Structure 1
């Protein structure tokens, strides 16, 4: 389990997952044509282009966060970052508007290049930071750097599922990212055996990308899964 790793090993594992998922997405973007970018997604009102712009912004946040003064101590972990109190109507509206605005500034040919630049800049900054570095999020929370990087993997991986669905492609979620996301969604607990879910199904079901059946809802309630809040 991820929770059993020491700080350095956890940082390394999370960096590998972040790199793998961002690399995979960049390769997919390089294959797209203009018509792909205008497709609607299941994150309305975003198009594929706007959702990509949102992801690019999300993976690039850490460089500026690390350039700012470090808070004295962490206040929330990755699961706490996705607390429902943060996803108010105003936060959601600002997030949606930001993605649409960012999309206007990047042409199709630059999408893959900009995403690649953003995540690599983040990775370099993370590699240079101490393992106990604390950062402050846009919500004002203080978090360990590694914990915030886990949230970036969720953003890239789960929105990658949204992009795959919009583009009519099979999911391309990498095993490295899948393991990190699944561990976060379950709080490190084993998935109840009765569900018979693989990691992809777990992620799709618990983030609302696939519907839960009544027996699945009962099994989840009995197991006490720790749900995270997403603004889609």
Structure 2
């Protein structure tokens, strides 16, 4: 729960510090600008609010790692929601309105997370899990998108907090079913593990080489 708050607050602060011209730069999400990514974060925040008030009365079916599905291929942009994001992002016009909406909805999502009972069961996308596991899964989302946000900025904001980078790496290793080499930093493990960059010749991934990239959906 603490990792959720730290990773989310750090990401909101990073967006708040963006210059207007940064919104037109590419993000680390293929095909999306920084503007598109920030719009996606608004929808993510709405999803958090919706899920935390969608109780379930059955036993959990997944944990934080099981929340994530592994896709065979990266998103093509043809999915209706993926295709909607750039159009919706453009409709905001000036970046300040997108910042305002993210701060408004994002602050509410952060408060809802702090007030949530970690043992309560919630339902989303046909899955049931505890609120604690659901919020834990989002630590990976926020941390990856923080890296995406700053991937191509000439003057990058603060990186994700070290403790949330470590928590996101630990969750990605659970999803992968094996640890990343200790020689990889947490940031590099996340970038290489999710296909955001290719491993270098000096980065020996061992048995993980056949399993990555892990395309999360």
Pair 89,110 (structure 1): closer, same or farther in 2 beyond 3 Å:
closer
Match of 2:61 in 1: 75
Match of 2:181 among 178, 184, 192: 192
TM-score by length of structure 2 reads: 0.80
Match of 2:21 among 30, 35, 38: 35
TM-score by length of structure 1 reads: 0.76
Pair 27,85 (structure 1): closer, same or farther in 2 beyond 3 Å:
closer
Deviation at 1:50, TM superposition (A): 0.7
Match of 2:132 among 139, 146, 154: 146
How many correspondences in the alignment? 213
CA RMSD of aligned residues (A): 3.1
Q: Does 1:123 align with 2:119?
A: no
Contact 2:25 2:33 (8 Å CA) reproduced: yes
Match of 2:194 among 207, 211, 218: 207
Q: Does 1:158 align with 2:147?
A: no
Higher helix share: 1
Return 5+ residue gaps in structure 1 as ranges: 1-14
